[in-house]
A = this chain, B = another copy of it.
Amino acid sequence: MTIPAEHIEALRALADPKSIVPEDAAGTHLEEWRGRWPGESPLILAPSATEELSRLMAEAYRRGVPMVPQGGHTGLVGGGSAKGEVIISTKRMRQVRDVSAEGFTMTLEAGITLQEAQELARKDDRLFPLSIGAEGTANIGGVLSTNAGGVHVLRYGNARDLVLGIEAVLPDGRIWKGLNQLRKNNTGYDLKHLFIGGEGTIGIITAAVLKTYPRPKEHVTAMLALPSPEHAVKLLSLAQARSGGQLGSFEVMNDGMLELVLHQFPDLPRPLETKSGTYVLMEFSSGQEGTLRETAEGILETAFEEELVIDGTVASSEAQAEALWTIRHNASEAMKKDPSPCVKADVSVPIAAIPEFLAKADAKVLEMEPGARIISFGHMGDGNIHYDILGPAEGPHDKWKARMAEFEHKVHDIVVELGGSISAEHGIGQLKRDELVTRKDPVEMDLMRTIKRSLDPKGLMNPGKLLNP
């Protein structure tokens, strides 16, 4: 794609000089962090305020200039990579517009990082519960546009569930002032849900009213060994019913993952003596002090009695809890350290179907490639499994590389058969755009195209992402 030079010059002239990202700072805007989608752009704009962003978009729209919105550019599906479009970054929009501890809200501009948002909430003894690996770089505009998930969805929901209102700039530059702070506002279509998770295809989120929560006063973290994923489903149900909504995380991992992490990070102590096929990392949290540990231990006692669990450890300090979480957090890094390239499926199925999914997928993969190493882990409480496949330990991996797409496809077939989703939390972007058409209800695909056409009739916003052009 080549945009005529006159258009680029006109946008350059309209922008505040500080809003033009110089060539030597273009790196992170063009390079995708895993090097998968090299970017290209004739102009990178980073306006510092909504009004300027609005003016620039209005001019680009008038001239028919395609735009790629960018947040922290930490996405995993190529949603923020440019192929010759003008990049519009919200990184310089960093105003804290309002914080209300009593109202349990924060109104933040798009360029504030997720970690900064968490810290802002903490100052008032509040919690902003969205938490993902990339939180130091990912920013509010990006995590909302991609409806990020993470480790606290079970209790607090996805990014979408943490938003009361948004301000967004439409493709033609008009500003929608939708910074609703209200818990209840029943006045028509709830339009924010089109922009949240819309991957920048119908406009750019410039600010949002986020919900905060009472900060938990106490945590109890446990790592458990279970006979099978079926037992994990039963344990999840028991823990939810008995904890009164105080179950915050319920992460499952297979032995493939635990052993790989312990192998790649030899300094990490093995958390449990017993080896089994299925491990669960669970965390309870409570706003009351004093009773949580008793509740958690009661649940685990029942779980042992009912033989849902065969071994387990409950962290007795913050440091021990941290050590247990480190195993989970090092999963991606451990896979990166392995020389074999990795098939990464980010899928969800109904919670009760997880055991069936794992059994069928494992059998299929090992039938296709007996030497494949299956690393499955994820947010079981949300039905979300990261199902990753490493090729045989011994290289060369050329043959394995050539078959990776086939493996992903087979795994997705099983997911769809069980009523699941081929993208639980990472989104569609470029990576899954073409596959989406073959997996989603055709009426829903058509509705999505209708919405896109009606809100971005010239097709200028993040072209080629989420939907076919």
Give A135-156 interface residues, CB cut-off 8 Å to B.
146-147, 149, 153-154
Bound Cα distance from A217 to B90, whole angstroms: 47
Contacts of A23 in B (CB 8 A): none
**Closest chain B residue, CB of each to CB of A161:** B161
Bound Cα distance from A245 to B286, whole angstroms: 8
Give A87-135 interface residues, CB cut-off 8 Å to B.
100-105, 125
Chain B nearest Cβ from A429, distance in angstroms: 10
Q: Mark A266-282, 1 if CB is under 8 A from B, else 0.
A: 00000000000000000
Chain B nearest Cβ from A379, distance in angstroms: 7
| Contact among B104, B184, B424, B454 with A384 in the assembled complex (CB-CB below 8 Å) | B184
Bound Cα distance from A419 to B182, whole angstroms: 8
A103–B176 contact, CB under 8 A?
Answer: no
Q: Is A188 an interface residue (CB 8 A)?
A: yes
| Contact among B244, B383, B419, B441 with A246 in the assembled complex (CB-CB below 8 Å) | B244
Contacts of A181 in B (CB 8 A): 350, 419
Chain B nearest Cβ from A464, distance in angstroms: 14
Q: Is A224 an interface residue (CB 8 A)?
A: no
Q: Is A48 an interface residue (CB 8 A)?
A: no
Contacts of A158 in B (CB 8 A): 184, 186
Contacts of A443 in B (CB 8 A): 170, 174-177
Given the contacts A100-B352, A246-B244, A188 and B436 also touching, CB distance less than 8 Å: yes
Bound Cα distance from A177 to B349, whole angstroms: 17
Bound Cα distance from A354 to B244, whole angstroms: 30
Give A380-401 interface residues, CB cut-off 8 Å to B.
381-384
Contacts of A441 in B (CB 8 A): 176-178
Chain B nearest Cβ from A183, distance in angstroms: 4
Q: Is A451 an interface residue (CB 8 A)?
A: yes
Bound Cα distance from A467 to B189, whole angstroms: 10
Bound Cα distance from A352 to B104, whole angstroms: 10
A103–B350 contact, CB under 8 A?
Answer: yes
Copies in the complex: 2
Q: Is A193 an interface residue (CB 8 A)?
A: yes
Contacts of A105 in B (CB 8 A): 350
A191–B444 contact, CB under 8 A?
Answer: yes
Chain B nearest Cβ from A6, distance in angstroms: 29
Segment at the interface with B among A24-32, A233-241, A328-336, A358-366 = A233-241
Given the contacts A177-B443, A447-B176, A451-B454, A125 and B241 also touching, CB distance less than 8 Å: yes
Segment at the interface with B among A64-72, A194-202, A309-317 = A194-202
Q: Is A46 an interface residue (CB 8 A)?
A: no
Q: Is A320 an interface residue (CB 8 A)?
A: no
Contacts of A450 in B (CB 8 A): 454-455
Chain B nearest Cβ from A295, distance in angstroms: 5
B244–A149 contact, CB under 8 A?
Answer: no
Contacts of A351 in B (CB 8 A): 102-104, 183
A191–B455 contact, CB under 8 A?
Answer: no
| Contact among B186, B194, B295, B419 with A427 in the assembled complex (CB-CB below 8 Å) | B186
Contacts of A426 in B (CB 8 A): 186
Bound Cα distance from A467 to B351, whole angstroms: 40
Residue of A147, A154, A174, A188 ringed by the most chain B CB atoms within 10 A: A188
Contacts of A243 in B (CB 8 A): 214, 287-288
Q: Given A190-B194, A246-B287, 17 other A-B contacts at CB below 8 A?
A: A102-B237, A103-B350, A125-B241, A149-B184, A153-B183, A177-B441, A184-B421, A185-B423, A186-B427, A188-B440, A189-B447, A189-B451, A214-B241, A214-B243, A214-B245, A243-B288, A291-B291
- Some 19 contacts from A to B, beta carbons below 8 A apart, are A101-B237, A103-B350, A103-B351, A125-B241, A149-B186, A153-B183, A158-B184, A178-B441, A183-B381, A185-B348, A185-B424, A186-B197, A186-B424, A194-B194, A243-B288, A246-B288, A450-B455, A451-B454, A454-B454
